[in-house]
Amino acid sequence: MPLRVLAVPSFTRVFKKLHEEDQKTIQKAIATVAQDPAQGQEKKGDLAGLFVCKFKLNNQETLLGYRLQPSKAAPEQLVLIAVGPPHENFYTAIKR
| Domain 4-95 = CATH 3.30.2310.20 | yes
Domain boundaries, the chain: 4-95
The pTM assigned to this predicted structure is 0.88
pLDDT tens, N- to C-terminus, the chain (96 residues): 668 999 999 999 999 999 999 999 999 999 999 998 888 899 998 888 899 999 999 999 999 999 999 988 888 899 999 998 887 788 887 887
Neighbour-count burial of 94, counting CB atoms closer than 10 A to its CB (0-12 exposed, 13-18 middle, 19+ buried):
buried
Backbone angles phi, psi at 21, to 5 degrees: -70, -35
Residues 6+ apart with CB under 8 A from 32: 39, 53, 55
Torsion on CA atoms 70, 7, 93, 56, rounded to nearest 10: 110
How many Å is the maximal CA-CA distance in the chain? 35
